[in-house]
Amino acid sequence: MEYRKNDLVTLEIEDCGIDGEGIGKADGFTVFVKDAVIGDTVLAKIIKAKKNYGYGRLMEILKPSPYRVEPKCAIARQCGGCQLQALSYEKQLEFKENKVRGHLERIGGFSNLPMEPIIGMDEPYHYRNKAQFPVGRAKDGRIVTGFYAGRTHSIIENRDCALGVPENKEILDRVISHMEKYGIEPYDEGTGKGLVRHVLIRYGFFTGEVMVCLILNGTRLPREEELVETLREIPGMTSITININKKRSNVILGEELRLLWGKPYITDKIGDISYQISPLSFFQVNPRQTGKLYAKALEYADLHGEETVWDLYCGIGTISLFLAQKAKFVRGVEIIPAAIENARENARINGIENVEFFVGKAEEVLPEEYQRTGTYADVIVVDPPRKGCDETLLSTIVEMQPKRVVYVSCDSATLARDLRYLCDRGYELVRVCPVDQFGNTVHVETVCLLSNRKADSHIRLSLDMEEYYDIMDKEKAEQK
């Protein structure tokens, strides 16, 4: 049967796509249905039809899946933030494990994967230490904040996100009340007019410190002192800043910061390491789970105090300082100058001296240092953005021949591509472990260990020679 747009189909959802959409078949025709979960029987309307597959809109759940749960958030379906709230957490972990395995097998061409069980979260809600809330006006004229609906810039009103911390709502209530009281306009993307663009909130899970940063299409907020007074009443308030962004673009943060009150940063911890975090800093949004991720990376690095380590895409030194606890020396590379300033300060406040940081692109700094000084690495750790590693960087890693490469990835598709490159050039994939940093979303982190086959063969050769000399010694002893 040939299906067309607007046709209604009944589907049994048998699988889950990489973006969390349900997958079902009707007479061999595959349909992807957002908001349907594995095990559902649904009625869907075809909204786009290709030759062998199409996309459907969920019209009715005819028989709910045994894995279907009630979302904690009433607007989970409209909001673009959570894709998996209707799926039980155990099934979410299974989906993420399968996603990583599928990418490594199909894109990377790996088989017999050395996969370890996914490391799940103790509590898959209220784990985000950072939120950026756009501010605008509803159709009825009210000032609203919340999150953008999927693939749009329409704000779905929500001041109390189920993934965020309770402090978010209290802060947003006070900011919007201040705007209403003094007639302060929210930013309008269409006209480029209005003042308040976003409210950025950060929370220190291990310190209880709170940061508020207002992103403005201007330099000042009317009656700033009064807003500071009301925000200071919130327990843990540590930093209140203004960020100036007058550009008409989708980039949220501008480069200029102005401190209104308190410190220009908050402090939080991952494991035993403290970090200073500014509004512009990149910092993992789930510090509790990040501790587990970094502990696994440290385990894979297998450091004994004599190793030189390069940490590429090091950010504010989060992994570098973890590694420095066990390594002889760590060198970190990051393209953002402010992040490197943070990294150096974080090393100082933790009393860690066996680290050095470089500003620049990892794919440029590492080859330059290698060619200039012949710098060596026993272990290289990479934690790139979603696009993965540049091929120039991978080529330099192969040329440097470290004993081990630890790859931390937030995108298992580009991870699979990069692992294939390294494994075609002398490395072996030894261990793989997914880590769920982002409960109720489709995203998953993965940490992998690659071992240098040449280094391994050298070790085996050394052992063989030792055995040879043992035999020769025994023979000489017997002859005597």
Question: Catalytic residues, which ones?
Answer: 410
The amino acid at residue 107 is I
Q: Are strands 29-33 and 53-63 parallel, antiparallel or unpaired?
A: parallel
| 3-state SS class at 214 | strand
Residue 244: partners with Cβ closer than 8 Å, 6 or more residues away:
216, 218, 219, 254, 256, 257, 258
Measured CA to CA, the distance from residue 12 to residue 38 in angstroms comes to 8
| 3-state SS class at 13 | strand
| 3-state SS class at 379 | strand
Nearest to 309 by CA among 215, 171, 209, 405: 405
Q: Are strands 256-262 and 237-244 parallel, antiparallel or unpaired?
A: antiparallel
Nearest to 435 by CA among 472, 398, 410: 410
User: Which residue is associated with the tokens 């991952």?
Assistant: 270
Q: Are strands 355-359 and 329-334 parallel, antiparallel or unpaired?
A: parallel
For the record, the structure tokens of 243 come out as 């960020």
H or E stretch covering 319: helix 318-324
3-class SS string, 237-300: EEEEEEEECCCCCCCCCCCEEEEEEECCCEEEEECCEEEEECCCCCCCCCHHHHHHHHHHHHHH
Measured CA to CA, the distance from residue 330 to residue 352 in angstroms comes to 10
